[in-house]
Structure 1
Amino acid sequence: MYDSPARVSAAGSPLALTTITEAVLPGIVEPDGIQVRTRPARPADPGQVVLAMEAAGISFAEQQMRRGKYYDQPPYPFVPGYDVVGRAVDVGEGVPGSVLGRRFAVLTKTGAWASHVTVEVNDLVEVPESVDSADAETFVVNGITAWQMLHRLAKVRPGDTVLVMGANGGVGSTLVQLASIAGATVMGTASPKHHDAVRALGATPVDYRNPDLHEQLRALAPKGYDAVFDHVGGEGILNSYLLLAPKGTLVSYGTASTRDVQGSSKAPVLKLFARLMLWNAAPNGKGAHFYNIWAGRRRRDTFRAKLHADLTQVFALLADGSLTPQVAARIPLADVAKAVQMAESGTVVGKVVLVP
C-alpha cells in the first residue's frame, strides 16, 4: 500500500520514520549488558502493520531469556519483548488504511522492546481508547495467560476455592482479580510487604516464606483447593498437587524456582512435564496441566480466534473498571537496564512497563 519508510499518519501528516530504536540481548548478560541500538526503519510488508510502541512489558519470560533459560528462545542476539501496545503508523499491501492511527495490542514473544514493532495484521487486538496504554499492556500476556488458565483449563466456577502462588506478580495479580470476578474464594501467597496489595485485589494473603506454609494453606481450605496456579515449579510443585480437592486442577505455568540454577534450560521443564503427565494420568479425578500460551499455534486461525476473544474480554473488564491495572513502574526504553533490574528485584507489585 505504501512503498517507502516515510508514511502518512492517520491525521494525514508526514511520518518520517527513518530509524528504529531497540533493546538487544547480545548474549547471557547482566541487565546493564542489554544494548540499546538504532537501525534503519523498513516499511511494512504485505499483510503487516508497523506499530509505534506506547508500552511494552517485562515479564518472567524475558528474565529467563536474559539468562539463556527460556525453553525455546531464539539464538542471540535478538530483541526481547513478549507483548506490546502501540498505534498503527504504517500498513502493508492488503491491510485496510482504516487501521492507521488506531491502537492495538499484540502478543509478540520477541521483538517488542523497540520504538516500532512490525506485526501481522491478523494478530492485532484493538485496545479501547478509554484505557491507558501502560494499563492495557499489563493485561496482554498476563491477561491472556490468566484468563485461559482460569476459564479454559481449570474452568473455575462460582463458589470454588482457588490458590494463586505469587499473587503479587503480573500474572498472579491478574489471576486473583479474574478469579474473584468469577465468584471464587481466593488465597494468594506473597511476602508480607505485599499483603495489603494482595488483600485489596481480593485474596487472603499468606506468607510464602512461612516454614509451615503447606499446613497454613491446608487450614484455609480443609476440603482442598478446586484450582491451584503454580509458577514456581521445582520440588514445591508436589505440595501444590497435594493441596488439591478430590476433583481439583493444578495448573503449572513456570519454573521460577530454577531461574538462577546453572545448566540446561530444558531439563527443569522436561522434568516438570513428566511429573504433570503422570499425575494427570492418575485415576483419582484430579487434573494436572502445564499452561503454554503458544499451545495450539499450529492451528493458526483457531489459536488467533481464542486469543482475540479472550483478550477482548479482559480489555472489556479493564475498560469498565472491573480490573485494576498493576503498573509497578513506567520506564523509558532507553533505561531498559534499570527496568529489568527493577522487574527482577522481587520488590514490586504488578508489572514494570517500558514506554517510548
Structure 2
Amino acid sequence: MNALVEVVLPGEVEPEGLQVRHGGAVPSPGPGQVVIRMEATGVSFAEQQMRRGRYYDQPPYPFVPGYDLVGTVLTPGDLAGTRVAALTKVGGWASHVVVDAADVVPVPDGIDAAEAETLVVNGVTAWQMLHRKARVRAGQTVLVHGANGGVGSVLVQLARAAGIEVIGTASARHHEHLRALGVVPVDYRTEDIPARVRELAPEGVAAVFDHVGGPGIVDSWRLLAPGGTLVSYGTASTRDDTGSKQWPVLKLLGRVWLWNALPNRRRAYFYNVWAGRALSRSRFRDRLRADLTQVFTALQRGDVTARIAGRFPLDHAAEALRLAESGTVAGKVVLHP
C-alpha cells in the first residue's frame, strides 16, 4: 500500500457520516519520528464520544480519530521492520501514521496484530488502575463495572491472574463467560447492585473500577471497605447527553476532591491514561513501555485472552463504529487495512 487511506470525522455525525479518503501522500516523519504502516487499530469509547462532540479534550473537526494502533515501522533506522504499538489519542484510523519514535512499544514476536491492538489502551488502562492506582493485593475483592467491556474484560483477567477475587457487572448474556473466568457476575439491568455486592462482600470491597460515572458513582464510593480505593475512569452514563462536554468530568473531579478531603480511610482517583504526560513526558513513556510490556507478557502466558468483537477493513469504519456502539458485543472492535 503506497498511498494514504484515512478515515475522517467531519463533525457531529452518525457513523455513516464518516469520510474515507483514498490516495493521499504517505506522511513524512520529522526529526525523532517514525512512520508506522498500520496493521490494526481499534474502536474505543473515546471515538464514540468524539463523534458526538462529547470527548473532554478532542481536537476541532475535522480530524482523523483512532486512539491506538499496532503496525510495522517503515522508517529506516533501528526500528525499521519492527512491529510496534502506539497510543495516539487521535490519528490511528489511517493506513500510515507518524508518531514519535520514543512513544512506540515493540510487540513481542508471535502476537497477532489484532490481538495486540485490543490490549494497547485497554491493557495499559487496566494494568495501571489495578497495580498503580488501587494496588490491590491477592485475596482481596474488587468490583469491576462493565466487566465484559474493552477495559473491563482485560481488568478482570489481570485481577484473577493476581489472585484477586472479582465481582463484575454485566448484562446476563455475558455471565457464563465471566463465570468461566472466575468472576462473580451481577446483572446491572435486573439486580440491585449495591445490595448484591454487600451480600458478596459484607465488609466492602478493596477497590471499585467505575467507567459509568453519573449518580451511580456515589454507590461505588459507599461500597468501599476501609482503606479501599475508587478508580473512576469515564462517564459512560452521559454519552448521549447534550450540553457541556466538560461538565460531567468536572463534576466527577469535584466529587473525587471532596471525598479525598474527608477524614476517612478511603481514596478516590479519576484515572486518565494521559495523566502526568505534560509534567513528565519521559516518565510517562517509561511507564507506558513497562506496563504495556507486562500486559503483552500476560497475553503470552495465557493470563489474558484478547477479545476481538469484530474485524473490519478501514473503509468500513462506519459499520465497525455502529457495532461498537450497539452494546451487544464483548471485547474490542478492530479495524485493519
> TM-score, normalised to structure 1's length?
0.92
Partner Cα distance (2:225, 2:309) in 1: 34
* Alignment-derived partner of residue 326 in structure 1: 307
Cα distance per residue 1:130-182 (max 9 Å; x no partner)? 11111011110001100000011000111110000000000000110111111
SS at match of 1:85: strand
What is the one-letter code of the residue matched to 2:39? E
* Alignment-derived partner of residue 12 in structure 1: none
Superposition deviation, residue 26 in structure 1:
0.1
Q: How many pairs were matched up?
A: 335
Q: Mapping of 1:176-215 within 5 angstroms?
A: 176-215=156-195
Partner Cα distance (2:192, 2:98) in 1: 49
Superposition deviation, residue 211 in structure 1:
4.6
Alignment RMSD: 1.0
What is the one-letter code of the residue matched to 2:310? A
Partner Cα distance (1:288, 1:261) in 2: 25
* Alignment-derived partner of residue 230 in structure 1: 210
Partner Cα distance (1:212, 1:321) in 2: 34
Partner Cα distance (2:236, 2:113) in 1: 28
The reply to whether residue 335 of structure 1 matches residue 320 of structure 2 is no
Q: Gaps spanning 5+ residues in structure 1: where?
A: 1-15, 92-96
Superposition deviation, residue 347 in structure 1:
0.3
* Alignment-derived partner of residue 345 in structure 1: 326
Partner Cα distance (1:132, 1:201) in 2: 22
The reply to whether residue 139 of structure 1 matches residue 119 of structure 2 is yes
- Segments ≥4 residues shifted beyond 4 Å: none
Q: Mapping of 1:76-95 within 5 angstroms?
A: 76-91=61-76
The reply to whether residue 281 of structure 1 matches residue 258 of structure 2 is no
Partner Cα distance (2:153, 2:4) in 1: 33
Partner Cα distance (2:184, 2:285) in 1: 35
Cα distance per residue 1:73-124 (max 9 Å; x no partner)? 0000000000000011124xxxxx2311110000110000011111110001
* Alignment-derived partner of residue 37 in structure 1: 21
Q: 2:32 aligns with which of 44, 47, 50?
A: 47
> TM-score, normalised to structure 2's length?
0.98
Cα distance per residue 1:272-314 (max 9 Å; x no partner)? 1101110111111000110011111021101100111000111
Q: Gaps spanning 5+ residues in structure 2: where?
A: none
Partner Cα distance (1:83, 1:202) in 2: 29
Larger radius of gyration, structure 1 or 2? 1
Identity %: 62
Contact map agreement 1:27 1:66 (CA 8 A) in 2: yes
Partner Cα distance (1:244, 1:42) in 2: 49
Of 163-172 and 190-199, deviating more is 190-199
Superposition deviation, residue 198 in structure 1:
1.8
Partner Cα distance (2:97, 2:287) in 1: 23
Superposition deviation, residue 204 in structure 1:
0.9
